[in-house]
Amino acid sequence: MKSSVLIVVLLALAVPCLVFGQTEAAQPPKAGAEVQKLGSALALVLPLALSATPSQQQWPRKDDRVFVAAAFEDMLKMWFNEQRVLLPLVPCTELVTKDAKPDKSRWTVEDSTFEIRMRLEGPWLPRMHKTKEDCRSQVEAEGEPNVKRSGDTFTIIPAKPK
């Protein structure tokens, strides 16, 4: 966002020089054709400068680190006293996005410690955080969502209205 503002400011300073051929600061142009030229030049440049701003909706992208405010049941398979034990992946575990299709509400994430991959489908974006602290705050405030598992795909089960 800051870079786009800087671009707009620089363009606003440069356009009068380009339109009027001035290299030094001068008095503002008088009303008339010169003002129309300046307005036309800004009308062409401003939308281009503003369209160059990155969208916040693109997060998380491939290889971004995310913390998800939900537990994932039976993800860790371990052996204890010769019996297989399935443990949950706790909320706010650091995950890495391996594939992101936010337009389809689908993300593939991986726990790099245990190399566990899982697919998240549905409204997960509000539960994805850039920091562990933000994630923990949401879990403390709202609790964990009900999550349904089908193979390696997890979806949030909407809460029933009260």
Structure confidence by residue, pLDDT tens digits, 126-149? 999 999 999 999 999 999 999 999
CB 128 within 8 A of CB 60: yes
More confident residue, 18 or 142: 142
Structure confidence by residue, pLDDT tens digits, 73-130? 887 777 777 877 777 889 999 999 999 999 999 999 999 888 889 999 999 999 999 9
Distance CA(152)–CA(99), nearest Å, equals 14
Residue 52's pLDDT band, with cuts at 50, 70 and 90, is very low
What pLDDT score does 159 carry?
Answer: 80
More confident residue, 150 or 29: 150
What pLDDT score does 76 carry?
Answer: 73
Distance CA(2)–CA(35), nearest Å, equals 28
> What's the token pair of residue 159?
């809460």
Instruction: Report the predicted TM-score, pTM, of the whole model to 2 decimal places.
Output: 0.62
CB 109 within 8 A of CB 97: yes
